[in-house]
């Protein structure tokens, strides 16, 4: 069985997220999605989510491409996750290109193109939740 892992906040789940999860699942048989906890988002990313971790976890679990959802509590956990879950492929959006190449020692690393025209930041800006200067690290 070929296992794939990806990471993200997955706040305001949208078509870009679904496209990423579908394409990630196409790379293997079993997809693990690591969802950032509220504490990690706030303390490490300086991000406040609209939905709580538990709500975001439930939404991601409901996506048919996803086999397992686990929490992300630190930047450093990626190597241990890859080892613990016997991951074959690590997947992220191409806005992270090169940032996780250190994982090539443990598994294949793939950067997928983002879905154009959609992001959580854009949705929040359109709704007036945040200003235009925020950065988004999710699809």
Write out pLDDT tens, residues 96-112.
999 999 999 999 999 99
25 included as an active-site residue:
no
pLDDT at 102: 97
pLDDT tens digits for range 69-80: 999 999 999 999
Catalytic residue among 3, 25, 39, 45: 45
Nearest Cα to Cα of residue 67 among 85, 49, 52: 85
pLDDT at 126: 65
47 included as an active-site residue:
yes
Q: Virtual CA dihedral for 12, 18, 20, 21, nearest 10 degrees?
A: 110
Catalytic residue among 3, 47, 57, 78: 47
**Burial classification of residue 138, based on how many CB atoms lie within 10 Å of its CB (0-12 exposed, 13-18 middle, 19 or more buried):** buried
CB 70 within 8 A of CB 88: no
């Amino acid at each position: 069985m070929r296992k794939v892992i990806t990471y993200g906040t997955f706040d305001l789940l949208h078509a870009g997220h679904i496209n990423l999860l579908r394409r990630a699942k196409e790379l293997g048989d079993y997809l693990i999605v690591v969802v950032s906890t509220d504490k990690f988002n706030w303390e490490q990313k300086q991000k406040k989510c609209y939905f709580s971790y538990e709500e975001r976890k439930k939404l991601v679990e409901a996506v048919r491409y996803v086999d397992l959802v686990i929490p992300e509590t630190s930047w450093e956990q990626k190597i241990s996750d890859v080892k613990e879950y016997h991951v074959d492929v690590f997947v992220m959006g191409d806005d992270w290109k090169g940032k996780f190449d250190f994982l090539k020692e443990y598994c294949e690393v793939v950067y997928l193109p983002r879905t154009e025209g959609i992001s959580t930041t854009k949705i929040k800006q359109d709704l007036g939740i945040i200003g235009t200067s925020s950065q988004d690290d999710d699809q």
